Structure 1
Amino acid sequence: MPFSNMFRAAWSSEERLDGKTVVITGANTGIGKETAIDLSKRGARVIIACRDMEKAKAAVKEIIESSGNDNVLCKKLDLSDTKSIREFAEGINQDEAKLNILINNAGVMVCPYGKTADGFEMQIGVNHLGHFLLTYLLLDLIKKSAPARIVTVSSLAHSWGSIYLDDINSEKSYDKSKAYSQSKLANVLFTRSLAKRLEGTGVTTYSLHPGVVQTDLFRHLNGPQRCFMKVVSPFTKNSVQGAQTTIYCAVEPKLANETGGYYSDCAPTSPSRKAKNDELAQKLWDLSCNMLSITWD
């Protein structure tokens, strides 16, 4: 965390979200679920978008019990399959009158090499391309619901990332940590590009580092990485603490006039130099559209 943020008082807000609709991807566990509980407590209608419907239904029950708000539901979304993303978005566009907050939270981390249903490397496919397509498909409804926000959970790992434009799917060589960092850098660049395209629409965008959070994303770490996590565990966050910056970006009234920025510990912070490269952001945008066969000017 930035040194200046270490002594900042914990952020909290009484902001209400009555009458607002929120979609959160991957919210059946970890920081996504804690975000869903918090936004439900604020009175929002919360839709959690998950791959495993059994786990999702159990999470819905828990969110309703914790928040006292029964306006919570789950819908099936597999971000590793564009067909599933299109079906999910079609359902939201059909059934929901508005979408005020989209939280691109789901992700996979340092997993063994695998490909999505569409042949993308799993980490870039789920973490970036899946959310890129989802946002594209829901954007008309989000614009119609303005003022609205799009929040994408990135990571400090973006700082070590590079975008391999000529080998985005890691087919020439695969390093799971590099592929993860690439996908997280893509999240920050996407948010930056999206902000420019949404100027004047009343829709604002944010990317963030949640902190080093103890979640089941760590399941693919190797022996030395697990040892390291044990050593630093006293300085890591639990899921409630890890959700705070996401919630801050989703509800803080002062952010209504900010867009395209990167946040950590409930405060704006500077991302890496590559994350501020507009030329790289544009090239990634064009490549993403091409890979997904969409036209998004």
Structure 2
Amino acid sequence: MTEERQLNVLINNAGIMMCPYSKTADGFEMQLGVNHLGHFLLTFLLLDLMKRSAPARIINVSSMAHSWGSIQLDDINSERHYHSRRAYGQSKLANILSTRALAKRLKGTGVNVYVIHPGVVRTELKRHMNIPLLVMWKIVRPFTKTVVQGAQTSIYCAVEPELDAESGGYYSNCSPASCSRAARDDVMAEKLWVLSCQMLGITWE
């Protein structure tokens, strides 16, 4: 990125779901590492460039599955107990909480941040689902979104002029949406922010 002079939109969309327990090369639980910490670090590394490029926008892709989990500060890597569904929920909840915390830190910089639920999209993300969930998937599949449809809320948050004055919100179907009570906990958002910085060995002012 040293050759790039401008970056106006960053969409953090990497994700895995409900995989067997494993860790990243840095020792993080895989879903937390890919879905949350990877986005957190990439944003940190690109933020100075985005500030220089302002106005700019950051879009974090979360999920309605954020309601499946809670932030386990004392066992963030699920080492004492692992449940793939709850660990996925924790990582998606972390997306929303970190977006809220980042929006506060970016106030007045010209860089806005949004977090979205893309919908239930027909991708390979479901490849680790167990048999009961795969049966349920077959039932709901006619009501799911194509990849193009699933991208619409990310695109909306990236380009919609009416969002110029908004930052930190949660969106679905190209509109503001409701998230869980846990996802609105600003005290937990700050605790997670501090822990994420410690885990990654970064100082984010």
Which TM-score band applies after superposition, normalised by the shorter structure?
over 0.9
Q: Verify the 8 A CA contact 2:68 2:85 in the aligned structure 1.
A: no
- Of 3, 8, 12 in structure 2, the residue corresponding to residue 104 of structure 1 is 12
Alpha-carbon RMSD across the aligned residues, in angstroms, is 0.6
1:166 is paired with a residue whose SS is: helix
For the pair 1:272 / 2:168, whether they are aligned, the reply is no
- Of 16, 38, 42 in structure 2, the residue corresponding to residue 134 of structure 1 is 42
Instruction: Give how far 1:190 is off.
Output: 0.8
Q: Which residue of 1 aligns with 2:61?
A: 153
Q: Which residue of 2 aligns with 1:244?
A: 152
User: What is the TM-score with the length of structure 2 in the denominator?
Assistant: 0.99
Inter-partner Cα distance in structure 2 for 1:206 and 1:154? 10
For the pair 1:296 / 2:187, whether they are aligned, the reply is no
Q: Percent identity?
A: 68
1:259 is paired with a residue whose SS is: coil
**Higher RCO structure (Cα 8 Å, ≥6 apart):** 2
Instruction: Give how far 1:216 is off.
Output: 0.5
Q: Which residue of 1 aligns with 2:72?
A: 164
1:97 is paired with a residue whose SS is: coil
Inter-partner Cα distance in structure 1 for 2:76 and 2:33? 10
2:151 is paired with a residue whose SS is: helix
For the pair 1:232 / 2:140, whether they are aligned, the reply is yes
2:113 is paired with a residue whose SS is: strand
Inter-partner Cα distance in structure 2 for 1:206 and 1:270? 13
1:163-242 matches, cutoff 5 A: 163-242=71-150
User: What is the TM-score with the length of structure 1 in the denominator?
Assistant: 0.68
Q: Which residue of 2 aligns with 1:53?
A: none
1:263 is paired with a residue whose SS is: strand
Inter-partner Cα distance in structure 2 for 1:219 and 1:212? 14
Q: Which has the larger radius of gyration?
A: 1
Q: Runs ≥4 in structure 1, deviation > 3 angstroms? A: none
1:95 is paired with a residue whose SS is: coil
Query: Which letter maps to 1:130?
Result: G
Instruction: Give how far 1:287 is off.
Output: 0.3
- Of 139, 162, 165 in structure 2, the residue corresponding to residue 254 of structure 1 is 162
Residue segments in structure 2 that go unaligned for 5+ positions in a row: none
Inter-partner Cα distance in structure 1 for 2:130 and 2:140? 15
Instruction: Give how far 1:258 is off.
Output: 0.4
Instruction: Give how far 1:160 is off.
Output: 2.1
Q: Which residue of 1 aligns with 2:51?
A: 143
Inter-partner Cα distance in structure 2 for 1:242 and 1:133? 25
For the pair 1:119 / 2:7, whether they are aligned, the reply is no
Inter-partner Cα distance in structure 1 for 2:103 and 2:28? 25
- Give a deviation string over 1:201-241, Cα, whole Å, max 9, x none: 00000000000011000110011100000001111111111
1:257 is paired with a residue whose SS is: coil
Query: Which letter maps to 1:238?
Result: T
Query: Which letter maps to 2:178?
Result: S
Q: Which residue of 2 aligns with 1:71?
A: none
Inter-partner Cα distance in structure 2 for 1:154 and 1:114? 21
Inter-partner Cα distance in structure 1 for 2:69 and 2:104? 22
Residue segments in structure 1 that go unaligned for 5+ positions in a row: 1-91
2:20 is paired with a residue whose SS is: coil
Inter-partner Cα distance in structure 2 for 1:155 and 1:161? 11
Inter-partner Cα distance in structure 1 for 2:122 and 2:136? 13
Query: Which letter maps to 2:181?
Result: R
Count of matched residue pairs: 205
- Give a deviation string over 1:256-293, Cα, whole Å, max 9, x none: 11000000000001211011101000000000000011
